[in-house]
Structure 1
Amino acid sequence: MPAACPSPVRRPDRRAARRPVRRALTAAVAAVALTTLSACSGTAHPKAGTADAAYQLTAKTPAAAGPLHSFTWSLFAEPTSIDYAYSFDYPPNQILANVCESLLRWNPDLTTSPGLATSYTHPTPTSWVYQIRSGVRFHDGTTLTADDVVASLRRNLDPEVASNWAYPFRNVKSIDRTGPSQVTVSLKSPDSTFNKYLAASPGTVESAATLKKDGKDYGNPAKGVNCTGPFSFGSWTSGQSLVLKRFDGYWDAKLKPKAGEVKFVFLSDPTTRVNAFQTGEVDGGWMVPPHAYAQLKASQAGTLYFGRNTTVASEIVNNLKGPLGDARVRQALLMAIDRKGIVKAGAGGVADVADSLVSSNTWSSTPDSTVKGLLKSLPSYPYDPVKAKALAAQAGVAGQKVVIASSPLDSQTTIITQAVAQAAKAIGLNPQIDTISADKYTALFTDAAARKGIDLFLTFWYTSITDPLDMYGSLQTGAFSNYGNWSNPQFDAAIDEATVAQDPAAVAAATGKAQQTAMEQLPWLPLYTEPVSVFLGKRITGVQPSIAYLYYPWAAEIGARG
């Protein structure tokens, strides 16, 4: 799993460079097959064939009974920077979510609400006007202004910065202060997703003075950041930990921190993290290794929770010039993968076989009846090795080699890779597993040369907004994250139609067209969706389990248990 995101490779195509590093692999680990997990509270996900609940989602853990002096939190990797322009992965984002804030706020229920902008208007299809909140202070005591907002957003347009978030700004023509507390963004063309991205890292606001003063040192261990969130940057001991301090001047009374300090410790080994939970060395952590679900559920050291997520585990088809270039072979391979078996053995039973490349949570603004209709029309690929082999035989690819990249990060990765290789063999291909180091695996998401000779590689891909276009836009012709260079005119047209549409129903209909094509052609092979996992030690409570922890100030709600 990449610890952070390096600067993107700029591409002279019709789309801006998009997200060079993308959630390569979770730090979750699976060593044994687990069965049913009892739930905490919330929505049950029934286990196939039984009335039992494989897992349940918890919207809110019990509220904190009081304040804390401090608590410790585990991270599976150390960030290389906490500059918001390069923070596009789990470790830096879950830190920055508590330090820096965006114009809008992505809430744990995956809705959006005002943040540093108290309101916004959309006077024309190509303009957004934001009213900036008054009385907000940066951690150095200076006051937030519209000029800070302009400077922060413009960084995503600067080729010298080479922001990992250039894609959401691909249609931006200008960003200007248009009043004492007003900022206007003008677009080249309508964009149904632009405003939504301002609830995530693209909408982050930093002090313009700090950006200018720190320059290329901004966000490093010595400088840190100077934002407006409930916690301020304290210290960063490379290789060990990063400390945040409560910011007593925080503007939002509902999210004033209950803890005086948060210490993030870098624990790369999953077993070490689980042991730290058990002993109380750390008080909690996101992304619990699946092999430890049963162990931690029964533990007296704390409580394991599951929450809303937008993640889909998928195999990315990188080489469309080899045997996987034929859609029939891709379809056959997906049918030959025992996805239910992977869920049981690799995800501890806490997951659901994916019916598309996006989680149903991303369709939250679309009526359930519409979403169900879109899903019902999609092709399905139930486990059927015999039928899969016959389909692959039609393409005449028997005996051809496919290279599947893997990395010894965790046993979940190994289980998935072996299952995919077994499926490839079952349909007549000659699979070869190429095990590479973690850093080289990360390079697959940034460097085309690193992907040379690789047919398939695994990703856990989540959306940063509650919109399936965030994922499907990655597969449009020329998109940076379209790693296999898949191109389909019908798909591209549907994405363009959804992007410029202003009516939500029209957006959903066009996105549905794109989804239909993607699931027929399978440029990526969806495996399963899984919930967010979080462990809270017996000292702490208050967090809302949700993928929004990457942008929402979750640590501010953590306090002492009663």
Structure 2
Amino acid sequence: MRSSAYRSRRGDGRLKPTWSSLVKAPGLVGDIRAQFRNDICQEITLTIRRMYQGACAVIVAAASLVGCSESNGKASGGGGSGSPDGLTTTNVFGKAAGDLDTLKWDVPDGEPTSLSPIFAANFSGQAILANLCDQLLVQDADYKISPHLAKATQVNDTTVTLDVVEKAKFWDGKPVTAEDVVFSLKQQMRPDAQFGFAFKSVSSISETGARQVTVKFKKPDELFVKELASPIGMVWQKDYAEAKGAAYGTAGGGLMCSGPFELGKWNQGRSMTLTRNDAYWNPTYRAHAKQVELSFVTDTAALTQGLLAGEFDGAWNVRPSQVDALKGGDKGSLVVGDSLAQTMVSFANAGGVTGNPDLRRAILGSIDREAIGEKVFKGTADPSYTVVAPNYWDEGATAVYEKAYGPYEKSNKLTVEQAKKLVESSGYKGQTLKLAYPSGDATQSLLSQIIQEQLAGIGVKVKIISMEPLAFLTATYTPSQRRSLDLMMMGNYGYAKDPLEFITFFLGPDETYNWTDFSDPEVTAGLTEARATFDAEKRAEILVRLQEKWEAAAPFASFLMPKELTYVKNGIGGVVTSGAYLNLPSLALIGTK
């Protein structure tokens, strides 16, 4: 593990400067700072992948949280505070009626270092790949899943078949085969791949016909098929990938996929061009743009200026700090959409001052979610009052979750007097709690200051600790690096509307994010039972029953659901403005109105 100063060697043998020296350097040119941020973000995601396999959604959100992008501009589909004045609320903005010669778009997290589907861990890489490499299943802008490269059939509790469509072809004209599907899924299972968590229950993946793949499971897993409608289900050509080896997915090695765009010129450090695949097999996602010019602008001020000047046709993942400037522009529209993101505050250790559940409930219950949503997120984040945030609820069981949510919305929203009583009963003696956030992130800095102020109102002292990004990330999966801390700001982003996608990572025994050592045999058994339950309502009933246990322990809070923010230039339509843009060929749908 590298030190928190993060001095690593460049390809030319020179040392990279530290993050802090760059951030504090007066007069620093924006693109230099942005490129350094991109370098460290790539290092962060690679470091986490080496440390453990799984929890990809948390990895992506954590990398964004430490300044790789202000992913707290990522969005939510629950709650219901409405859209701030001057913003449009929709998951698809406008209708594409015509084609474009060139679509100019800025991607969320700067330049990816790899487009290999098993290594592209940030939002930029995944957004680009969604338009190059088809998934087995696909989501629409409202997160509804349908067949794409294949039709998935749940034959029984431990068997899934994938029947590959006959007309699907790679860019070189060769058909997509069952062999390619088996190869791609097994690549996702590699120890160094990012999506291993989705395959924990899989026992075998094999060809059982010329166009059929069968997946066998050690135990039932209701989540697996859903995850195939995300980057987890991407398919690429086996022969090409094996021929390119380690170069696959790089600027020099390229890709061979079946999507509506082909990878064109990759001008490393500056831009990337995608060219339309005119022989694309699926008319639903035929590309409107002949080519797409992707920019890697990560400097917020530079991006805002470019959008207001009409230099870009649009950008996903707009930051809350850009809202005021962009909603007043006349070159385009700032759009609010649904997403599966949560902003969280977690207790850093099992014992210590915050080891008492009463103190934890007092802290979490005194956070004024509505005020933070307005003040920090400019009205583009909804409050959440349970560990499982409403934007993660299965749509087939919303009524079950809603009925159970109401009482917690009241009981987890404490008055000052209620919170003070819990603080007193906890035995808290005025110790100063340390709240950590990653340096260089203005949103997290402001968020931490507001929480500090709110906790002071109930008699709890807080000292804010600004940590260098790599040190912060190291602390999230290294207990010894958290021992001096009490609270940490965290983020989560999901692919499927299913609480089981993330809850086990935070509440399962010995899991990476179970920092308070939450342990309850009934919860552990119940989560296993829920994963084996294919009926959404019955699964929700299990989780609602277990919810009483973890809410009483108050291990962390998913206290905000930030929304997806997208800027769209006038005259452009067909833009997916929900967080589902990561899970379908969203660039292909964009055209002229």
Instruction: Report matched runs for 1:226-237 at 5 Å.
Output: 226-237=256-267
Structure 1 Cα separation of the partners of residues 586 and 142 of structure 2:
12
- Kindly tell me: are residues 262 and 240 of structure 1, through their superposed partners in 2, closer, same or farther at Cα, counting changes over 3 Å? same
Deviation at 1:550, TM superposition (A): 1.0
Preserved CA contact (<8 Å) 1:29 1:270: no
In the other structure, the counterpart of 2:547 is 515
Structure 2 residue 115 is the aligned partner of structure 1 residue 82: yes
Structure 2 residue 45 is the aligned partner of structure 1 residue 5: yes
What residue ranges of structure 1 are gaps of 5+ in the alignment? 32-41
Deviation at 1:483, TM superposition (A): 4.6
Deviation at 1:401, TM superposition (A): 3.5
Letter in 2 for 1:456: L
SS at match of 1:414: helix
Preserved CA contact (<8 Å) 1:21 1:446: no
Deviation at 1:382, TM superposition (A): 1.7
Deviation at 1:113, TM superposition (A): 0.1
Instruction: Report matched runs for 1:15-34 at 5 Å.
Output: 17-19=54-56, 21-24=59-62, 25=64, 27-28=69-70
Q: 1:349 aligns with which of 379, 389, 409?
A: 379
Q: Which moved more, 1:1-10 or 1:452-461?
A: 1-10
Q: 1:95 aligns with which of 112, 115, 128?
A: 128
Structure 2 residue 239 is the aligned partner of structure 1 residue 201: no
Structure 2 Cα separation of the partners of residues 86 and 238 of structure 1:
17
Q: 2:103 aligns with which of 63, 71, 77?
A: 71
Structure 2 Cα separation of the partners of residues 434 and 43 of structure 1:
31
SS at match of 2:395: coil
Deviation at 1:315, TM superposition (A): 1.1
SS at match of 1:101: coil
Q: 1:299 aligns with which of 318, 329, 335?
A: 329
Instruction: Report matched runs for 1:182-197 at 5 Å.
Output: 182-197=212-227
SS at match of 1:234: strand
Structure 2 Cα separation of the partners of residues 60 and 97 of structure 1:
17
Instruction: Report matched runs for 1:83-482 at 5 Å.
Output: 83-117=116-150, 119-159=151-191, 162-378=192-408, 380-445=411-476, 447-448=478-479, 450-475=481-506, 476-482=508-514
- Kindly tell me: are residues 145 and 30 of structure 1, through their superposed partners in 2, closer, same or farther at Cα, counting changes over 3 Å? closer
Deviation at 1:285, TM superposition (A): 0.6
Preserved CA contact (<8 Å) 1:314 1:527: yes
Structure 2 residue 571 is the aligned partner of structure 1 residue 533: no
- Kindly tell me: are residues 517 and 557 of structure 1, through their superposed partners in 2, closer, same or farther at Cα, counting changes over 3 Å? same
Per-residue CA deviations over 1:351-375 (Å, capped at 9, x if unaligned) read: 2111223443432432443222121
Letter in 2 for 1:79: P
SS at match of 2:49: coil
Preserved CA contact (<8 Å) 2:189 2:199: yes
Structure 2 residue 518 is the aligned partner of structure 1 residue 486: yes
Letter in 2 for 1:545: T
Per-residue CA deviations over 1:393-434 (Å, capped at 9, x if unaligned) read: 222222323322222444221111112223444444442222
**TM-score, normalisation: structure 2:** 0.85
Structure 2 Cα separation of the partners of residues 482 and 249 of structure 1:
48
Preserved CA contact (<8 Å) 1:9 1:446: no
More helix, by proportion: 2
Deviation at 1:253, TM superposition (A): 0.7
Preserved CA contact (<8 Å) 1:29 1:411: no
Q: Which moved more, 1:477-486 or 1:365-374?
A: 477-486
Structure 1 Cα separation of the partners of residues 439 and 361 of structure 2:
27
- Kindly tell me: are residues 186 and 43 of structure 1, through their superposed partners in 2, closer, same or farther at Cα, counting changes over 3 Å? closer
Deviation at 1:485, TM superposition (A): 4.1
Deviation at 1:440, TM superposition (A): 3.5
Structure 1 Cα separation of the partners of residues 352 and 317 of structure 2:
35
**TM-score, normalisation: structure 1:** 0.89
- Kindly tell me: are residues 211 and 448 of structure 1, through their superposed partners in 2, closer, same or farther at Cα, counting changes over 3 Å? farther
Deviation at 1:54, TM superposition (A): 9.2
Letter in 1 for 2:55: R
Letter in 1 for 2:131: N
SS at match of 1:183: strand
Structure 2 Cα separation of the partners of residues 297 and 381 of structure 1:
34
Preserved CA contact (<8 Å) 1:333 1:423: no
Q: 1:547 aligns with which of 561, 572, 579?
A: 579
Preserved CA contact (<8 Å) 1:29 1:346: no
- Kindly tell me: are residues 91 and 47 of structure 1, through their superposed partners in 2, closer, same or farther at Cα, counting changes over 3 Å? closer
- Kindly tell me: are residues 443 and 273 of structure 1, through their superposed partners in 2, closer, same or farther at Cα, counting changes over 3 Å? farther
Letter in 2 for 1:287: N
Preserved CA contact (<8 Å) 1:472 1:514: no
- Kindly tell me: are residues 47 and 467 of structure 1, through their superposed partners in 2, closer, same or farther at Cα, counting changes over 3 Å? closer
Q: Which moved more, 1:96-105 or 1:470-479?
A: 470-479
- Kindly tell me: are residues 325 and 77 of structure 1, through their superposed partners in 2, closer, same or farther at Cα, counting changes over 3 Å? farther
Preserved CA contact (<8 Å) 1:21 1:445: no
SS at match of 2:449: helix
In the other structure, the counterpart of 1:34 is none
Per-residue CA deviations over 1:225-250 (Å, capped at 9, x if unaligned) read: 22111111123233222222211121
